[in-house]
Amino acid sequence: MPSERSGRRVSTQREPLLLALWVIGVLIAGTLGYSVIESYPLMDAFYMTVITVSTVGFREIQPLSTAGQLFTIFLIIAGVGSFFFAGGVFARTLIANIPKREARRMQNSIDSLSGHVILCGFGRLGRIVRRELVRSNRRFVVIERDEELVSSLLKEKVFCLQGDATDEEVLRLAGVERAMGVIAAVGTDADNVFITLSSRQLNPKCSIVARAEDPRSEEKLKRVGATSVVTPYRLGGRRLAQAFLRPGAVDLSDLALGDLKHEVLIEEVVLPKGIPVDERTLLGLSLGARFGLIAVAVRSEGDLRFNPRAEEQLEEGDALMVMGHRVDIDAFSAAVADRS
Residue count of the chain, please give it.
Answer: 340
* Identity of the amino acid at 31: T
pLDDT tens track of the chain, all 340 residues?
444 444 444 455 677 777 778 778 888 888 898 888 888 888 888 888 888 877 776 667 778 888 888 888 888 888 777 777 777 777 776 666 656 677 788 889 999 999 999 999 999 889 989 988 998 889 999 999 998 999 899 888 899 999 999 999 999 999 999 999 999 999 899 999 999 999 999 999 999 999 998 888 989 999 999 999 998 877 777 767 766 777 766 666 666 565 555 567 778 888 888 888 888 888 888 888 888 888 888 988 778 888 888 888 888 888 888 888 888 888 888 888 877 6
The ranges of the chain annotated as CATH 3.40.50.720 are 113-235
Start-to-end Cα distance in the chain? 56
Please give the C-alpha separations between residue 202 and each of 12, 195, 224, 259, 272, in angstroms, as whole numbers: 38, 11, 12, 34, 25
Per CATH, domain 2-109 is 1.10.287.70: yes
**CA 33, CA 40: separation in Å to the nearest integer?**
9
Class of domain 247-339 (CATH, top level): alpha beta
Report yes or no on whether pTM surpasses 0.75: no
CB-CB contact of 272 with 337 (8 Å): yes
* Identity of the amino acid at 120: C
113-235 CATH, one of 3.30.450.20, 3.40.50.720, 3.90.1580.10, 3.40.50.2300: 3.40.50.720
The ranges of the chain annotated as CATH 1.10.287.70 are 2-109
Exposure of 46 by Cβ count < 10 A (0-12 exposed, 13-18 middle, 19+ buried)? Answer: middle
Cβ count within 10 A of residue 56: 8
| Rounded-to-5 percentages of helix, strand, coil across the chain | 55, 15, 30
The ranges of the chain annotated as CATH 3.30.70.1450 are 247-339
